[in-house]
A and B are shown apart, each in its own frame.
Chain A
């Protein structure tokens, strides 16, 4: 996609949707603020989390090996996959061998990232989302709108209609009752499922454990009811020690929803052993590269891999709050999506994306692992400008900036240009601002400005001129 989606205008014009986004993100912002205000060591934890992530990512090969050894020691198996197709092949192969037909899934952005459901459906494997929001979206054939609140954009009335249409139930607008309806359907799925698939919030190298946080209990059922559990995670989810969780768990829930801890935090370390009653017979962890090693090459871009997917940057982003989650080219939306999408896919795939930011920095301010998102955006912008140069596009803008840079090194000419501009500009009566530009001027950036705002005319006399007069 070379240009920003047209749908942005529709999203901004949709007052109901705007209200839904604002209310939901506003609530998450308020909850986060309250919960972090009550955590005196909050800033120290952010620094510690950043340093821990940096250390892990810098030594990822070491921790992956340690993790694999510990998983194997517990009877589990680590599977390395380069891309989406390899993950699908692995799941399909295993399903075929075990004659599995039904998969239950708990919420996982990584599996969204690789279109796992679609890939499995093509082979007639039923894969059911069990997180309420994800389940709603699966019925509606939609992508998550938000990293932690996937159905943030949908009203309960829309959900009521959807359930009636897809499940044949009576129209029910009470959220608790909707939950009950979904639960009724999903309980049967949990009991019948052959395989449970989850993501992972953290992979602990020194104990070979997978940590999954959630609020609905569906991940617990997903990992304990079926005979096989597969956790699918990006390689960046590793952390060195179980004790490091003290840092991350304190930050994750608070940053995401304002919870000191999510309702459930599951530590999963291998299949059911000996006399144990619960747990799967088989335990697999799929470690996905999916473009991540490309980022490892660049010391600055590595920082993008620190992300723990809390969604705080989305909630605090004034651009996300206007354009919502479906106008971004990939499933990762908001500020974090704006940096990892180009880094994973290449900047020239969606060259507009790093520019769709006012660089206000609200994202970096709330990022629990202190990713300097504006700095990365600026770096990506530079790469886009370079890319355009070799691709031969954007030449008028490039010429414009060359001219600007030349003019700014020639103060006399800069002032001359300024005086010319001041002479040519329309000057509304009474020192007012320009409400409408004459047609020949109403082009390019000026036209874009005038579309939304009035424009101040250049001053009749610049500061330079005024200062000279004053010093006479």
Chain B
């Protein structure tokens, strides 16, 4: 039985819009025997500003993040995108700040996307979950291409009782969210979502699972707009279900 203390960074979008994802993540980790720490001063990783070209603003938010999480042993995040921001892009924004660069380098190996933490630190691929669904897994781009997370979530899903996993033909194609891209270029973003949804429909799955709530917000927003009978769910919620 693994044990120890993990600190949750729930991300701003989970905190404000999808808190049940954070709760589910905490449930799974607690059941595995971890003691949960939730640093109350946490807010955001700074990615929205970084991706929009406002690096000074991104640095300010990143400094706050580093301060809040500096002493945490493990930081677990229910998002590939926010994890990649911390572990890969803090380096980009702190090129001219040696102290912050060092802090972010020290932190990078301690920041884990949720599914990776389960597989690589807790070393479990079956958390005893039950979730009745025919599901398909959507690879979020930053998890897939920056963190190289691909098989892990599928392995975890394959061990969920009641869940049939179906691979879609465009699993690795972007959902079209892209942060501010989704509102700067709504037509392109919306069209990308619909292409993705077509691929989901071809699997005849009733559920789309991902490890990033922002992708799911994009997909479910477009699914609801089209009036389709598909639900979206974060991996943490599937794994917390019994």
What is A's interface to B at a CB cutoff of 8 Å? 4, 8-9, 12, 318-319, 322-323, 352, 354-362, 364-365, 375, 378, 380-386, 397-398, 401-402, 404-409, 411, 414, 418, 421-422, 432-433, 435, 444-446, 448-449, 451-456, 458-459, 461-467, 470
How far is B50's CA from A381's CA once the two chains are assembled, in angstroms?
A: 9
Query: How close is A338's CB to chain B, nearest CB, in angstroms?
Result: 12
Other A-B contacts than A358-B181, A384-B53, A459-B16, 5 sampled, CB-CB below 8 A, are: A318-B173, A359-B181, A361-B141, A398-B54, A454-B220
Question: Residue on B with the closest CB to A461?
Answer: B19
From A360, A380, A382, B174 is in contact (CB under 8 Å) with A360
Q: Does B99 contact A (CB under 8 A)?
A: no
Contact residues of B between 8 and 65, Cβ < 8 Å to A = 10, 12, 14-20, 22-23, 26, 38, 40-44, 46, 48-58, 60-61, 64
Are B221's CB and A358's CB within 8 A? no
* Known contacts A358-B174, A463-B19: A12-B38 contact under CB 8 Å: no
B 161-189 to A, binary, CB cutoff 8 A, 1 in contact else 0: 00000000000111011111111111111
What is B's interface to A at a CB cutoff of 8 Å? 10, 12, 14-20, 22-23, 26, 38, 40-44, 46, 48-58, 60-61, 64, 89, 92, 141-142, 145-146, 172-174, 176-193, 195, 217-218, 220-222, 224-225
* Known contacts A355-B181, A365-B145, A464-B15: A454-B44 contact under CB 8 Å: no
Interface of B: prevailing SS: helix
Are A411's CB and B41's CB within 8 A? yes
Cβ contacts A to B, 7 pairs, < 8 Å: A322-B191, A386-B53, A449-B186, A452-B189, A452-B221, A464-B15, A467-B26
Q: Which B residues are CB-close (under 8 A) to A458?
A: 16-17
Q: Which A residues are CB-close (under 8 A) to B179?
A: 358-359
Question: Residue on A with the closest CB to B61?
Answer: A408
Are B187's CB and A358's CB within 8 A? no
How far is B186's CA from A318's CA once the two chains are assembled, in angstroms?
A: 14
Are B190's CB and A451's CB within 8 A? yes
From A383, A445, A465, B183 is in contact (CB under 8 Å) with A445
Are A381's CB and B52's CB within 8 A? yes
* Known contacts A462-B19, A463-B14, A464-B15: A385-B53 contact under CB 8 Å: yes
From B23, B41, B51, B218, A453 is in contact (CB under 8 Å) with B218
